[in-house]
Structure formats: C-alpha cells, structure tokens
C-alpha cells in the first residue's frame, strides 16, 4: 500500500521559540483532528529539530531535516550529516529541493550521494524533482525530470528504493501562488511512476509521490484526488497550523 504523506517544509523560517510554539500548535491539532491514515512530517530548521521532536507525539508526527551533507563527519564547516539528523530525532530528510539546487549548486551527482547517506543512517529521503519555467515552456520538463530521477535513484537496490519518497515540485509553482493544475500534477506524477516502474517493477506502485508548489487548503483536495498524487510537500501554508491541518485533512 502506498502511504499518504503531508510534509511541511518550514524552510528558513521561525526563530527557535516560534518553531517550538508552531510545533506544539500543529501537534495539538494533528493529535485531535487529523485523519489517522496520513503520515505527517514537519521539517523545521536544523537548530529546532531536537526540541521539535521532543514537543510532538512521535507516533503521530515525524521530523525531517531540510538537507544533509555528502560526508559522515570531519572538517566540513557548516555541514550537518545524516547521522547527526538521525541522532537529533529526525526520521526523514528533504533532498534536492529546487532552492538547494539553484542557490547552493546541488547537482544530481551530489544528490545521489546524499540519498545514499540518508538511507545509510535510517532516514527516509524525500527526494525533490521539478522543472523551471523555461524548461516547461520549451517542453523539456519530461526530459529534466527523467534525468533527475535516473541519475539519482536508478543505482539504488530495490530494497533501498522502496524507502524513498519523491516530491514533484514544479519550480514555477513554488512560493508564487501559481499551482500546477490537477491535470498537470497527475501527468507528471504518472510519468514519474512509469519511469520508476520500468526500472523497479511493482515496487514503484508503493512509492509515495508528493506534490509541492503553492499547495494550500483551497486546492489540496483536487490535487490529492489524483490517482498518482499521494500527498504534498507544503511550504508557506505549513507555517500556519490551521492551514496545515486543513491540507492533511484534504484527503
Ligand atoms: P510553497 O508551498 O510555499 O509554494 O513551497 C513549496 C515548497 O517548496 C515545499 O518544499
């Protein structure tokens, strides 16, 4: 069975105390009111992970990092390893977010290493793919996504592949208020599943593929209603506990 997942990517938002307060607010709403069959993940800034993890019900809310290093430890100033995330209580890690790809030079080659590191330290990677506007306008979006999937995931063993979650985030829809239409989302999600099925067979039927990009309470239901959309990776709307809950309950 494919899992339904709604993950909140807080990005570089909230001070430490604001983050803890938000986590407590989300936790109270989720424990009381969220659909039980949806896996809920929050990805606060690194500095908040340990305390957010303590503030939430660990059977109900999982904590994610927003990135991890390609190395395990050593002289890499400013980096955070997968093992550090795990030791602070994270169960997931977002990898390959378009903001990391475009502002911090993260290539498919680097991301392949990061996915392997996450798996080595028992973190579930939420691996992000997506095209920029020019690529979509040039009708290159399928090609771009194919490369992002093949170069990063295709050398995984089937057992490791089964642990990976994928997020399709069209870059033109992130933080812009412009959402992909449900048809556009389904088209790409189906395409991703077809690529994965060609490589990994039936295991790909169980892969959760999340949509991200201006997903909010008003459009989550129509996005999640699609056969290959298994949830969402939420940015702005995840900073409001009420909006986040409404998205979780949009299934
Ligand atoms: P928004 O929901 O703010 O568009 O951000 C999406 C995103 O980048 C989640 O990772």
pLDDT over 80 at 103, yes or no: yes
Do residues 167 and 183 make contact, with C-beta atoms less than 8 angstroms apart?
A: no
Q: d(Cα 157, Cα 177) in Å, to the nearest integer? A: 38
Q: Which of 226, 227, 224 is nearest to 248 (CA)?
A: 224
Do residues 77 and 97 make contact, with C-beta atoms less than 8 angstroms apart?
A: no
Average pLDDT of span 115-135 = 97
Answer whether 9 contacts ligand 1 (Cβ < 6 A).
yes
| % of the chain exceeding 90 in pLDDT | 96
* Ligand 1 centroid, distance to 223 Cα (angstroms): 14
**What pTM value is reported for the model?**
0.97
Q: d(Cα 167, Cα 225) in Å, to the nearest integer? A: 16
Answer whether 175 contacts ligand 1 (Cβ < 6 A).
yes
Minimum-distance ligand 1 atom for the alpha carbon of 212: 6
The reply to whether 97 belongs to the active site is: yes
CA dihedral 122, 124, 130, 132 (to 10 degrees): -60
pLDDT tens-digit series, residues 6-41: 999 999 999 999 999 999 999 999 999 999 999 999
pLDDT over 70 at 224, yes or no: yes
pLDDT tens-digit series, residues 188-216: 999 999 999 999 999 999 999 999 999 99
Structural domains present in the chain: 4-248 (3.20.20.70)
First to last CA, the chain: 16
Answer whether 247 contacts ligand 1 (Cβ < 6 A).
no
Minimum-distance ligand 1 atom for the alpha carbon of 176: 4
The reply to whether 169 belongs to the active site is: yes
Answer whether 213 contacts ligand 1 (Cβ < 6 A).
yes
* Ligand 1 centroid, distance to 123 Cα (angstroms): 21
* Ligand 1 centroid, distance to 68 Cα (angstroms): 19
């Amino acid at each position: 069975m494919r899992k339904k997942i709604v993950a909140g990517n807080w990005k570089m938002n909230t001070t430490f105390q604001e983050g803890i307060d938000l986590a407590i607010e989300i936790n109270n709403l989720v424990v009381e009111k969220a659909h039980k069959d949806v896996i809920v993940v929050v990805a606060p800034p690194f500095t908040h992970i340990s305390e957010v993890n303590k503030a939430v019900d660990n059977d109900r809310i999982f904590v994610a990092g927003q990135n991890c290093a390609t190395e395990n430890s050593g002289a890499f100033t400013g980096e955070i390893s997968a093992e550090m995330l795990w030791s602070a209580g994270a169960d997931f890690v977002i990898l390959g977010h378009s903001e990391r790809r475009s502002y911090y030079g993260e290539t498919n080659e680097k991301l392949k290493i990061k996915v392997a590191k996450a798996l080595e330290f028992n973190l579930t990677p939420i691996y992000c793919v997506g095209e920029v506007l020019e690529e979509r306008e040039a009708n290159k979006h399928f090609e771009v996504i194919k490369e992002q999937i093949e170069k990063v995931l295709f050398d995984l063993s089937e057992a490791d592949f089964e642990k990976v979650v994928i997020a399709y985030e069209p870059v033109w829809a992130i933080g812009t208020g412009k959402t992909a239409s449900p048809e556009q989302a389904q088209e790409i999600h189906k395409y991703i599943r077809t690529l994965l099925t060609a490589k990994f067979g039936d295991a790909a039927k169980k892969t959760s593929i999340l949509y991200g990009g201006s997903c909010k309470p008003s459009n989550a239901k129509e996005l999640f209603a699609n056969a290959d959309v298994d949830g969402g990776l939420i940015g702005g709307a995840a900073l409001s506990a009420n909006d986040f809950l409404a998205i979780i309950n949009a299934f």
